Chains A and B, each alone.
Chain A
Amino acid sequence: MTITRWLALRPLLRSPGRTLASVLGVALGVAVFVAIRLASGSALAAFSDTVDAVTGRANLQVVARGDGFDETLYTRVRAVPGVQAAAPVVQVTALARPGGFRPAARPDAAPDAGGDTGPRYDETLLVLGLDAFVEAPFFRMELASGERGERGAGSLSATGGEAAAAGLRLLAEPRTIAITRTLASRHGLRVDDSLTVLASGVPTPMTIAAVIESEALQQAMGGNVVITDIATAQEVFGREGRLDRVDLLVAPERRDSVRAELARLLPPTAAAELPQGRTKQVENMVRAFALNLTALSFIAVFVSTFLIFNTMAMSVVRRRRDIGVLRALGMTRGAVARLWLSEAAAIGVLGSALGLVLGTLLARGALRVVGRTLTDLYLVQQTDSLRLDPFTLAVGASLGLFATLGSALLPALEAGATAPGATLRQGQRIESQPLPLTALGVAAAVSLALMVASALWSMQSHVAWGGFAAAFFAIVGFSLLAPGATLAMSSLAAPRAGRLGGIEAALGARALREAVARASTVVAALTVAVGMLVALHVMVGSFRRTVDTWITQTIKGDLYVEPVGHRTSGSATVLPPDLVQGAREIPGVAAVDTYRATPITMNGLLAFAIGIDLRVQRDFGRLSFTSGEDARTVLGRALEGGGVIVSESFAHRHRVKQGDVIALPAAGGAAQVRVEGVLFDYSTDAGAVLMDAATYARLWNDDRTESLALYVKPGASADSVRAAFVALCGPERLMHVTPNAGLRRRVLAVFDQTFQVTWALQGIAVLVAVLGVVSTLTALVLQRGREIGMLRANGATRAQVRRMVLVESGLLGLTGALLGCVAGVALAVLLVQVINKQFFGWTVRFQLEPGIMLQAVALMVVVSALAGLFPAQLAAGRAAAEAMREE
């Protein structure tokens, strides 16, 4: 241990800068991984906790397949033998704000909760409609009456009598609710205060009658849970006669038999599930998104292994003479190798520890962004409470440690294999052995061949992770090309640099060749970072343009109408029929398309069944189909035969193609429908089945509408139609009435938001690569002390020495960037054509933008040159005499 401390740990302290760069490299890699896993884990855990909290003690549930089921089912379910307790539930997510509702003075000033006018509805509430008479066994209605007129949560403690009185008040008084202590204290709400919820866009003031004591519900959705009487919930949210769930308590040993009996009894609109079922479904849905982010977070770890490899390899080169002495003194090869591994382990432990701390801090930011994306794309409610999952932390720490040890293995073995005699001679060249260029070239070729093979295999067999394997082989393959590229760059650049920038520039270019092993490791790190940067830019750019073209070409409505809160409440939003009819009668309106959707489960996966007016789409819309057929033909067929059209991601997920007949889990039972076309659609990767509103109404016994698209007659003004519609809604209903261009902006904003995390991850990978440039160049400069001293002794000015190092660092950046661009194109093809296709099923039109590559090259040359500033200054500032004294 003493020897290890002397020989492995002390050197780390003697070069604090280099040690810090390595530790930081590992830390950033670990941090990114941990942050992403913690953020997506926390978002899912918050969802799962909410599910648990609102389920109470139920151990089996009857859940709606789609938009609720008939409430008469409740009595039949309760009567099933083995059911000990049953509680009906209406559950709606809705926007709300504290206080009562005051209509805006002018009708058109109100209709936008997200706009600048009118009050903002910032809170997303989970409204639970419960039946107080049957709730006791589920422990959800632990209520306190609170003390009227006193602020704060401290005074809100319950006695048994109070709880009963609070429950009664919910039953007896119309439009009363109970809120959590958390929500009450956040807004300083007290009993008898008001909270206004949006029901289908209608602000509905509710009176706070009690406070929820249940601890679980204080945590669920960050405490944004309100309980109301089931009848109130049905009335306010237009769900009369419908239930979303029946929670059951059954004897554990009889659970399977009860489930079997329920399966026999239940209509297709309902299913018996374990309470974890919904969590599982959501996990499945966001899995692809989370997996892609995790894969991306590995890039930073991968890049940091190059940095560690270089640090350790240079430590071996620098201390080769020490190794010779140690070996001459009797240290075994194994012991020498272990010394270097100990040094790496110290870096790994420090880096991982720092990485966990950084990762936890970053996770808070990531949670906000990831959470927002999950809300936008998958309607999973956002959370701000970060869960420090010990497993993720352990995996992150192990990843840091093993990546460090793994990357130090080769240098450690090289240290061990050093012959004692060889190292004691003076005047060793920097590198002990020439690089095995041929072997590296062959390995690169094999790796790139495996990339192609994995990609083809993934596309043929639909195995999604094949795309990741291909990306891995691409990264490895292009990294292996780095030494060749570095040598080529040195040979090409040296004469030109000499002509352009004098002898110092030529020397800088030649230095790459001299230290090719170290330089090419940095080039490999830069290649990977730039490769991913370019690939993501190309992928996101192609995707964005595809989506933009899709919106512009296919979304033809002039005004899109939805109640404020529609995106939160989903199918619990209903527009009154007279409003829909009124919209049709507005002068200047050519047609009105209606929209109604319900979540369905097919093959265990979530999808959406959507009813729209196919006639309006046929006559006014311009939907685009993968078959290339004209929309009129496809929609005409669907209208005639009562068939459906499916989105591309649905077709991909369920292996469905045009002409197939699929069994839709409709309210009246499985409905056999024919797929008349596969639609380009980028609105959700969950997959959608679209049908005519009449077919939807028949299959789901539901002819209601939740949102509209208005088509304006040629020559008519969309603004006047908008004004007329807003007036029709009146001041008491808050609506988003979005013009076509606004919708396009909104879709693209959600799109850009989705990729925010991606850019953050990418930025960190580039940062790690740049750390590699700084650390490696610094070490190389120190290693070349004598050479620099000689140059100074022979008349090189400080400026010339500085320029020499800057040319070297700039060329490192240029080589990495150029190779990275090539790697980037390959990775972009994999991302667009393989990974994206296999995970999300979207067709993205691949578009290469040379501008991105030029920018990446310029960026990396500048950043690398900047990274070379410190080593350059160090080199220029070193006294020549000192360098020569190092003899």
Chain B
Amino acid sequence: MNRPAALEFDRVGKRFAFGETDVRALDDVSLAIAPGEFTAIVGRSGSGKSTLLNLAAGIDTPTSGEVRVDGRALSSLDDDALTTLRRDRVGVVYQFFHLLPGLDVRENVALPLLLGRARRADALARADALLAEVGLGPRARALPHTLSGGEMQRAAVARALVHEPALLLADEPTGNLDTRAAAQVIELLRDLGSRHGATVVMVTHSLEAAGAAARVMEMRDGRVVSDRANAGARPRA
């Protein structure tokens, strides 16, 4: 039996109403991303990339069509089940890191486990391990505002992976970083994603970032206009 796609969009549409204007953010999008794949979705601002990612994470619902994660239709899940799915199967990295300012770095990383009622000591040990992997071991007890942008994003990547998600979603993860830090984060996503067996879907408008992905989809006006394998991508570890 074939394994289901890690992420599947089946004729998905999403509209937003802004006052009297109806904006079509996604228009009849269908795609399937196989388990373990590292896919980049590129496109200009407003092309629908982030909407696609939010729908994939189940934090937004489509106006039409169906989104499936690991073969499970998200429309069939209630809010609690969606939350559980996110907690167990999905990790998200944002452009602005979104680390909680009052928690130190390891606590931030352990957060998804703690929200899932993991034992505190286990969660923190796991966070420490991941922080060591992303090279932030020595900064584990630091507060987020003392970190550089690159460090904060590495911490955010560690947080997204702490619960071993099957699907790692990254929304412009390098948008707020300098070139060197951006390269480090892309490396992390690629290598760590692979090492932890996660399917990585990364939204970006950076061609350098997209260059690291094995598959690149381009979006324009809410549609996927191209979908190609990236021959130049370095194989994942």
Interface residues of A, Cβ cutoff 8 Å to B = 426-427, 429, 498, 502-504, 507, 510-511, 513-514, 786-787, 789-798, 800, 879-881, 884-885, 887
Contacts of B120 in A (CB 8 A): 498
**Pair B83/A795 contact, Cβ less than 8 Å:** yes
Contacts of A800 in B (CB 8 A): 115
* Given contact pairs A510-B103, A514-B102, A887-B95, A794 touches B159 in the complex (Cβ within 8 A): yes
**Pair B94/A792 contact, Cβ less than 8 Å:** no
Cα distance, A136 to B163, chains bound together (Å): 101
By Cβ-Cβ distance, the 9 closest A-B pairs, closest first, are A795-B87, A881-B60, A503-B114, A880-B59, A790-B98, A510-B102, A881-B54, A794-B112, A881-B59
- A790 closest partner in B (C-beta): B98
| B25 smallest CB distance to A (angstroms) | 10
**B100 beta carbon closer than 8 Å to chain A:** yes
**Pair A796/B115 contact, Cβ less than 8 Å:** yes
| B62 smallest CB distance to A (angstroms) | 11
Cα distance, A793 to B101, chains bound together (Å): 17
Name 11 interchain pairs, CB-CB below 8 A, sorted by A: A503-B111, A503-B114, A503-B115, A510-B102, A791-B111, A792-B59, A793-B94, A795-B83, A795-B88, A797-B80, A800-B115
* Given pairs A510-B103, A884-B54, 13 additional interface contacts (CB within 8 A): A427-B96, A502-B114, A507-B102, A510-B100, A793-B86, A794-B112, A797-B80, A797-B115, A800-B115, A880-B59, A881-B54, A884-B94, A887-B95
**B92 beta carbon closer than 8 Å to chain A:** yes
**B117 beta carbon closer than 8 Å to chain A:** yes
Contacts of A787 in B (CB 8 A): 98, 100
- B114 closest partner in A (C-beta): A503
Cα distance, A881 to B92, chains bound together (Å): 12
**B84 beta carbon closer than 8 Å to chain A:** yes
| B92 smallest CB distance to A (angstroms) | 5
- A882 closest partner in B (C-beta): B60
Cα distance, A787 to B100, chains bound together (Å): 7
* Given contact pairs A880-B59, A881-B59, A797 touches B111 in the complex (Cβ within 8 A): no
Contacts of B158 in A (CB 8 A): none
Cα distance, A791 to B116, chains bound together (Å): 12
**B141 beta carbon closer than 8 Å to chain A:** no
- A426 closest partner in B (C-beta): B96
* Given contact pairs A511-B102, A881-B60, A793 touches B79 in the complex (Cβ within 8 A): no
A794: which of B79, B101, B115 is its contact (CB, 8 Å)? B115
Cα distance, A792 to B79, chains bound together (Å): 10
- A787 closest partner in B (C-beta): B100
Contacts of B145 in A (CB 8 A): 429
Contacts of B59 in A (CB 8 A): 789, 792-793, 879-881, 884
Contacts of B79 in A (CB 8 A): 797-798
| A232 smallest CB distance to B (angstroms) | 83
**B105 beta carbon closer than 8 Å to chain A:** no
Cα distance, A790 to B59, chains bound together (Å): 10
Cα distance, A504 to B98, chains bound together (Å): 17
**Pair B86/A794 contact, Cβ less than 8 Å:** yes
**Pair A795/B103 contact, Cβ less than 8 Å:** no
Cα distance, A792 to B83, chains bound together (Å): 7
Cα distance, A97 to B83, chains bound together (Å): 75
**Pair A795/B112 contact, Cβ less than 8 Å:** yes
Contacts of A426 in B (CB 8 A): 96, 176
| A794 smallest CB distance to B (angstroms) | 5
B101: which of A514, A789, A887 is its contact (CB, 8 Å)? A514
Contacts of A786 in B (CB 8 A): 96, 98
**Pair A791/B115 contact, Cβ less than 8 Å:** yes
In the complex, which residues 147-194 of chain B have their Cβ closer than 8 Å to any Cβ of chain A? Answer: 159, 163, 176
Contacts of A429 in B (CB 8 A): 101, 145
**B57 beta carbon closer than 8 Å to chain A:** yes
Cα distance, A884 to B94, chains bound together (Å): 9
Contacts of A879 in B (CB 8 A): 59-60
- B95 closest partner in A (C-beta): A887
Contacts of B54 in A (CB 8 A): 880-881, 884
**Pair B86/A507 contact, Cβ less than 8 Å:** no
Contacts of A507 in B (CB 8 A): 100, 102-103
Cα distance, A887 to B54, chains bound together (Å): 14
- A503 closest partner in B (C-beta): B114
**Pair A795/B115 contact, Cβ less than 8 Å:** yes
**Pair A887/B96 contact, Cβ less than 8 Å:** yes
Contacts of A880 in B (CB 8 A): 54, 59-60
Interface flags, B13-42, vs A, CB<8A=1, else 0: 000000000000000000000000000000
| A22 smallest CB distance to B (angstroms) | 27
**Pair B84/A502 contact, Cβ less than 8 Å:** no
Contacts of A887 in B (CB 8 A): 95-96
Contacts of B116 in A (CB 8 A): 795
Contacts of B80 in A (CB 8 A): 797-798
Cα distance, A511 to B145, chains bound together (Å): 16
Contacts of A514 in B (CB 8 A): 101-102
| A432 smallest CB distance to B (angstroms) | 13
| B135 smallest CB distance to A (angstroms) | 22
* Given contact pairs A800-B115, A879-B59, A884-B54, A795 touches B86 in the complex (Cβ within 8 A): yes
- B171 closest partner in A (C-beta): A884
| B116 smallest CB distance to A (angstroms) | 6
- B86 closest partner in A (C-beta): A795
Cα distance, A735 to B59, chains bound together (Å): 80
| A652 smallest CB distance to B (angstroms) | 55
Contacts of B57 in A (CB 8 A): 793
**Pair B84/A795 contact, Cβ less than 8 Å:** yes
| B69 smallest CB distance to A (angstroms) | 14
Cα distance, A451 to B92, chains bound together (Å): 55
| B158 smallest CB distance to A (angstroms) | 12
| B174 smallest CB distance to A (angstroms) | 15
Contacts of B176 in A (CB 8 A): 426
Contacts of A795 in B (CB 8 A): 83-84, 86-88, 112, 115-116, 163
In the complex, which residues 44-79 of chain B have their Cβ closer than 8 Å to any Cβ of chain A? Answer: 50, 54, 57, 59-60, 79
Cα distance, A511 to B100, chains bound together (Å): 10
Cα distance, A504 to B87, chains bound together (Å): 14
Contacts of A513 in B (CB 8 A): 102
- The listed residue with most B CB atoms (<10 A of its CB), out of A790, A791, A794, is A794
**Pair B115/A790 contact, Cβ less than 8 Å:** no
Contacts of A504 in B (CB 8 A): 115
Contacts of B163 in A (CB 8 A): 795
Cα distance, A800 to B145, chains bound together (Å): 25
Contacts of A511 in B (CB 8 A): 102
| A57 smallest CB distance to B (angstroms) | 72
Cα distance, A507 to B100, chains bound together (Å): 9
Cα distance, A429 to B101, chains bound together (Å): 8
**Pair B117/A502 contact, Cβ less than 8 Å:** yes
Cα distance, A514 to B103, chains bound together (Å): 10
Contacts of B102 in A (CB 8 A): 507, 510-511, 513-514
Cα distance, A513 to B59, chains bound together (Å): 28
In the complex, which residues 112-142 of chain B have their Cβ closer than 8 Å to any Cβ of chain A? Answer: 112, 114-117, 120
Contacts of B87 in A (CB 8 A): 794-795
| A113 smallest CB distance to B (angstroms) | 67
Cα distance, A625 to B6, chains bound together (Å): 91
- B100 closest partner in A (C-beta): A787
- A799 closest partner in B (C-beta): B80
Cα distance, A514 to B95, chains bound together (Å): 22
Contacts of B95 in A (CB 8 A): 887
B83: which of A510, A789, A797, A884 is its contact (CB, 8 Å)? A797
| A14 smallest CB distance to B (angstroms) | 14
Cα distance, A164 to B27, chains bound together (Å): 100
Contacts of B115 in A (CB 8 A): 503-504, 791, 794-797, 800
